């Protein structure tokens, strides 16, 4: 096993922890057999161990005090790696919505010379809003985002828009690293022109296709999508600065999209079987139609209609009694007489029973009366 010792405080030199070489002896082995003599160089820097300190914190002040700024480092010295101390490179910007373009620019600044101590200046909200407009992140959020980038060794808060001699002396800056696009100010067309003429400027390259403006434009373009997402995550209409009606509309759209997604997931889970299911459904539907036509074809449907029509008409309007009928009533009246059901009264003609009683009395003879008395 390797004997890895902890890094002592004495190894911290001007912001960098000096790399330690570790060797293995011939007697050491691993799972693949004996290991020959090898040297492992593991460069360890302060920026990879913890977040970068602010320029007014003790760690940054100590590193600045240890820097001998009386001897200026030229570009050739820094490029060749013969500088007697770490080269202090300064890079500044807004760093709103910190993204990979920012990180790549800082990586270039960190690696522009063999041994670099990278200082990053970040402008405040007040200065940025007056020069470029409103930012998405606050200055505190931008400070924290950049100080956790692995290439950064120190953070300067409330950095100036244009660097002067006093600022360079205070922070003991050897070179300024920035892209070569001219940045204007009130009294100059390029705020870095002075340092370019002194040979204290090194150019970095922009990452094409990514910028804070591009990200903001993407958010504006897909505004509805992000509003729906945030409402689904629990944000209120007040948080998103939308009206009550807009909130209800968007929540309804969220439900519709959820239903669509569930349906899509169901169909995707079915996979290749969905084609077989559709084919079987079509086959069953054709079979059902054919059976229906066989049972209820055109002729059969016509007969059913005519038979049903006659039955319906008879039920709705039954035929009357023949003109020569004794009662001249309906078949229901005859049924009542045959079954001995008491006749019903009608408001116009009175009781039908009276006429029937009279009819029976007229037909009753004396012989029948004597016969009834003899057998009583």
Task: Write out pLDDT tens, residues 250-278.
Answer: 778 778 877 887 877 777 776 656 667 77
Task: Report which of residues 40 and 112 the model is more confident about.
Answer: 112
Going from N- to C-terminal start, the domains of the chain cover: 1-49, 50-214, 222-270, 330-374
What would the mean pLDDT of 318-323 be, rounded to a whole number? 60
Report the predicted TM-score, pTM, of the whole model to 2 decimal places.
0.57
3-state secondary structure of 114: coil
Rounded CA-CA distance 56/143 in Å is 13
What would the mean pLDDT of 209-226 be, rounded to a whole number? 88
Confidence of residue 32 (pLDDT cuts 50, 70, 90): very low
- Which position has the token pair 């005859």? 334
Closest by alpha carbon to 143, among 41, 13, 81, 54?
Answer: 54
| Least confident piece of the model among 27-41, 86-100, 158-172, 273-287 | 27-41
Task: Report which of residues 322 and 204 the model is more confident about.
Answer: 204
| pLDDT, position 310 | 73
The yes-or-no verdict on residue 22 having pLDDT over 80 is: no
Task: Report which of residues 125 and 283 the model is more confident about.
Answer: 125
The yes-or-no verdict on residue 187 having pLDDT over 80 is: no
Task: Report which of residues 125 and 22 the model is more confident about.
Answer: 125
Task: Write out pLDDT tens, residues 93-105.
Answer: 999 999 999 999 9
Burial of residue 316, with CB atoms counted within 10 A of its CB: 0-12 exposed, 13-18 middle, 19 or more buried: exposed
Confidence of residue 311 (pLDDT cuts 50, 70, 90): confident
Task: Report which of residues 72 and 12 the model is more confident about.
Answer: 72
| Least confident piece of the model among 29-33, 55-59, 307-311 | 29-33
- Please answer whether residues 124 and 160 qualify as being in contact, where contact means their C-beta atoms are separated by less than 8 angstroms: no
* Residue 248, CB-side half-sphere exposure with 13 Å CA sphere: 2
What would the mean pLDDT of 292-321 be, rounded to a whole number? 67
The yes-or-no verdict on residue 2 having pLDDT over 50 is: no
Task: Write out pLDDT tens, residues 118-172.
Answer: 999 999 999 999 998 999 999 999 999 999 999 999 999 999 999 999 999 999 9
Q: Taking the CB of residue 103, how many other CB atoms lie within 10 A of it? A: 17
| pLDDT, position 113 | 96
Rounded CA-CA distance 214/210 in Å is 6
| pLDDT, position 34 | 42
The yes-or-no verdict on residue 30 having pLDDT over 70 is: no
Task: Report which of residues 336 and 280 the model is more confident about.
Answer: 280
Percent of the chain scored above 90 by pLDDT? 36
The yes-or-no verdict on residue 200 having pLDDT over 60 is: yes
| Least confident piece of the model among 97-111, 134-148, 216-230, 279-293 | 279-293
Task: Report which of residues 360 and 91 the model is more confident about.
Answer: 91
Q: Which residues contact 49 (CB under 8 A, 6 or more apart)?
A: 17
- Please answer whether residues 98 and 142 qualify as being in contact, where contact means their C-beta atoms are separated by less than 8 angstroms: yes
Rounded CA-CA distance 150/115 in Å is 15
| pLDDT, position 323 | 58
Task: Write out pLDDT tens, residues 346-360.
Answer: 555 444 444 444 444
- Please answer whether residues 91 and 119 qualify as being in contact, where contact means their C-beta atoms are separated by less than 8 angstroms: yes
Q: Which token pair is 52?
A: 């970068």
The yes-or-no verdict on residue 9 having pLDDT over 60 is: no
What's the chain's average pLDDT?
75
Q: Taking the CB of residue 35, how many other CB atoms lie within 10 A of it? A: 13
Judge: domain 50-214, CATH 2.20.25.90: no
The yes-or-no verdict on residue 78 having pLDDT over 70 is: yes
Confidence of residue 107 (pLDDT cuts 50, 70, 90): very high
Q: Which token pair is 332?
A: 């229901």
């Amino acid at each position: 096993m390797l004997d890895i010792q902890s890094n002592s405080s004495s190894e911290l030199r001007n912001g960098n922890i000096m790399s330690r070489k570790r060797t293995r002896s011939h007697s050491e082995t691993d799972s693949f057999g004996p290991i020959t003599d090898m040297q492992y160089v593991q460069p360890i820097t302060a920026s990879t161990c913890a977040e970068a300190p602010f320029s007014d914190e003790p760690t940054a002040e100590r590193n600045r005090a240890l820097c001998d700024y009386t001897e200026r480092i030229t570009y050739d010295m820094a490029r060749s790696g013969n500088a007697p101390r770490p080269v202090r490179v300064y890079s500044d910007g807004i760093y709103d919505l910190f993204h990979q373009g920012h990180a790549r620019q800082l990586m270039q600044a960190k690696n522009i010379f063999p041994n670099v101590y990278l200082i990053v200046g970040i402008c405040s909200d007040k200065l940025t809003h007056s020069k470029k407009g409103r930012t998405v992140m606050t200055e505190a959020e931008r400070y924290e985002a950049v100080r956790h980038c692995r290439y950064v060794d120190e953070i300067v808060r409330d950095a100036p828009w244009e660097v002067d001699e006093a600022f360079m002396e205070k922070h003991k800056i050897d070179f300024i690293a920035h892209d070569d696009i001219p940045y204007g100010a009130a009294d100059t067309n390029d705020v870095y022109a002075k340092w370019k003429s002194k040979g204290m400027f090194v150019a970095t390259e922009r990452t094409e296709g990514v910028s804070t403006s591009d990200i903001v434009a993407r958010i504006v373009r897909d505004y509805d999508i992000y509003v729906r997402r945030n409402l689904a995550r629990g944000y209120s209409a007040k948080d998103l600065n939308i009206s009550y009606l807009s909130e209800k509309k968007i929540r309804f759209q969220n439900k519709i999209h959820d239903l669509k997604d569930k349906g899509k997931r169901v169909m995707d889970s079915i996979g290749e079987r969905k084609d077989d299911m559709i084919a079987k459904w079509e086959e069953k539907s054709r079979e059902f139609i054919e059976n229906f036509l066989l049972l209820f074809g055109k002729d059969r449907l016509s007969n059913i209609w005519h038979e049903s029509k006659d039955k319906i008409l008879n039920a709705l309007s039954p035929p009357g009694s023949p003109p020569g009928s004794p009662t001249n009533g309906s078949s229901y009246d005859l049924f009542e007489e045959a079954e001995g059901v008491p006749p019903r009264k009608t408001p116009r003609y009175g009781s039908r029973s009276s006429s029937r009683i009279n009819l029976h009395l007229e037909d009753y003879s004396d012989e029948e009366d004597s016969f009834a008395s003899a057998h009583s």
